[in-house]
């Protein structure tokens, strides 16, 4: 299905080498999905088959798939895969619990699994497998449509900023909240793609995002689409913001609390602080599945602490072009590796969702989602 960004722009799926591609390929009749192994990007594009519940849980935990919306969609398909030979209540609960335990911060995972369990609990067991594949597909299609809508709303904001200047729009982002982090289009990068496709001159500052270097994924997918961009070390963001080289920062989110506090990849908070100090808009783009109205504020958001080896080892290509890992620290060196941080709502200029743009506040979010007032 073509996605319409605005009246004059029409786009297909995002491209790899000019071929429209999504991050997941599904084969319900065979009970499997294929995913892009993001641990091997940007050095190699490698598809991996996920055919069991354990493989689905591993893919999420090991970050072969990553990014809040894609984690949720993969978990939904993981549940469908898990019901292949046993679709009993016990199997459903076991599979949901295992998938839920893979990563704590992105609420999309919990949202997708709750939606799957809700949809399936009243379905007779002999019809559950087909129903699970259908529900997972619905979640995936909604992700694509919602991200396209985020692109349209974000484009409106970018146009307003662009009107005030004659040069290319300079956008900064952190981590990867692009096509690779979702089924298609991305969240924070969807407005960037919409701007580029609409002919707005745009350039993206991409922060490396140590220690997992998701910025390299962002650079890779921007390059596939032809969007001009420049990679920077995370610590360079402050000087660029201070030098007036950035018109706006836009990031995704792993969980947005009811009061508008935003959990996103570690390092996001520092960018928001620097934006506030330099009067630069700081936008957060996320779909409904990232909003957690049950979470009072950011202090209640669980922050994932990942293995210190992610920090101790650096990955890349060796002098022969072969993927390799090097230790930059002795194994016994103490390291801390919090994967996310929380940006207080007061530092967020606005939240962009599929329903529109709102202030980062309880009132702002409920203005877009009035139905959430009643639980």
- Active site positions, annotated: 254
Q: Whole-number minimum distance, CB 31 to ligand MRU, in Å?
A: 26
Q: Distance (Å, rounded) from C-alpha 98 to C-alpha 57?
A: 7
Report helix angle 53-61 to 89-100, nearest 10.
20
DSSP letter at 305 equals B
Alpha carbon of residue 9 to chain centroid = 24
Residue 132 vs 250, nearer CB to ligand MRU: 250
Q: Residue 80 or 175: which CB sits closer to ligand MRU?
A: 175
Q: How far is the CB of 75 from ligand MRU (least distance, A)?
A: 13
Structure tokens at 304: 């994932």
Pick 84 or 270: Cβ nearer ligand MRU: 270
Q: How far is the CB of 214 from ligand MRU (least distance, A)?
A: 5
CB 218 within 8 A of CB 171: no
CB atoms within 10 A of CB 277: 11
- The least distance separating ligand MRU from the CB of residue 333, rounded to whole angstroms, comes to 22
Q: Kindly tell me which of 162 and 217 has the beta carbon lying closer to ligand MRU.
A: 217
Peptide bond into 211 cis (omega under 30): yes
Smallest distance, ligand MRU to C-beta of residue 147, A: 8
- Region for 175 from its dihedrals, namely left if φ exceeds 0, alpha if ψ lies in -120 to 50, beta otherwise: left
- The residue ranges that bind ligand MRU (CB under 6 A) are 66-69, 106, 175, 177, 181-182, 186-187, 214, 251-254, 264-265, 339
Which residues are paired to 341 by β-bridges? 264
Q: Which is nearer to ligand MRU, 175 or 246 (CB)?
A: 175
Yes or no: say if 105 and 263 are a contact pair by the CB < 8 Å rule: yes
Strands (E), 235-327: 248-251, 255-257, 262-265, 282-285, 291-292, 313-317, 323-327
Q: Which is nearer to ligand MRU, 133 or 282 (CB)?
A: 282
CA angle 234, 110, 356 (to 5 degrees): 65
Taking CB positions, which residue lies at the least distance from ligand MRU? 252
Number of other residues whose CB lies within 10 A of the CB of residue 263: 29
3-state secondary structure at position 212: coil
CB of 1 to ligand MRU, least distance (A): 21
């Amino acid at each position: 299905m073509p996605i319409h960004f605005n009246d004059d722009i029409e786009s297909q799926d995002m491209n790899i080498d000019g071929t429209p591609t999504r991050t997941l390929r599904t084969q319900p009749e065979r009970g499997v999905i294929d995913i892009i192994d993001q641990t091997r990007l940007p050095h190699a594009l490698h598809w991996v088959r996920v055919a069991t519940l354990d493989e689905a849980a591993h893919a999420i935990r090991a970050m072969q798939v990553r990014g809040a919306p894609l984690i949720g969609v993969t978990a939904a398909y993981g549940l469908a895969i898990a019901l292949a030979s046993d679709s009993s209540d016990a199997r459903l609960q076991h599979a949901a619990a295992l998938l839920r335990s893979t990563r704590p911060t992105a609420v999309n995972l919990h949202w997708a699994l709750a939606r799957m369990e809700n949809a399936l609990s009243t379905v007779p067991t002999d019809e559950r497998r087909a129903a699970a594949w259908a529900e997972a597909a619905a979640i995936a299609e909604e992700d694509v449509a919602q991200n396209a809508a985020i692109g349209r709303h974000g484009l409106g904001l970018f146009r307003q900023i662009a009107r005030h200047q004659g040069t290319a729009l300079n956008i900064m982002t952190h981590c990867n909240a692009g096509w690779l982090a979702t089924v298609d289009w991305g969240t924070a990068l969807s407005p960037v793609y919409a701007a580029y496709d609409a002919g707005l001159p745009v350039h993206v500052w991409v922060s490396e995002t140590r220690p997992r270097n998701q910025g390299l994924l962002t650079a890779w997918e921007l390059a596939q689409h032809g969007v001009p961009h420049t990679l920077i070390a995370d610590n360079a963001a402050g000087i660029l913001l201070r030098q007036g080289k950035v018109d706006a920062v836009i990031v995704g989110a792993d969980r947005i609390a009811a009061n508008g506090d935003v959990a996103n990849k570690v390092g996001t908070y520092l960018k928001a602080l620097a934006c506030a100090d330099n009067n630069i808009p700081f936008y957060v783009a996320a779909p409904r599945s990232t909003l957690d109205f049950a979470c009072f504020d950011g202090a209640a958001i669980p922050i994932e602490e990942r293995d210190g080896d992610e920090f101790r080892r650096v990955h890349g290509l060796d002098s022969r072009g072969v993927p390799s890992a090097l230790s930059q620290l002795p194994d016994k060196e103490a390291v801390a590796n919090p994967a996310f941080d929380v940006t207080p709502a007061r530092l967020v200029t606005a939240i962009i969702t599929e329903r529109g743009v709102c202030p980062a506040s309880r009132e702002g979010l409920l203005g877009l989602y009035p139905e959430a007032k009643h639980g």
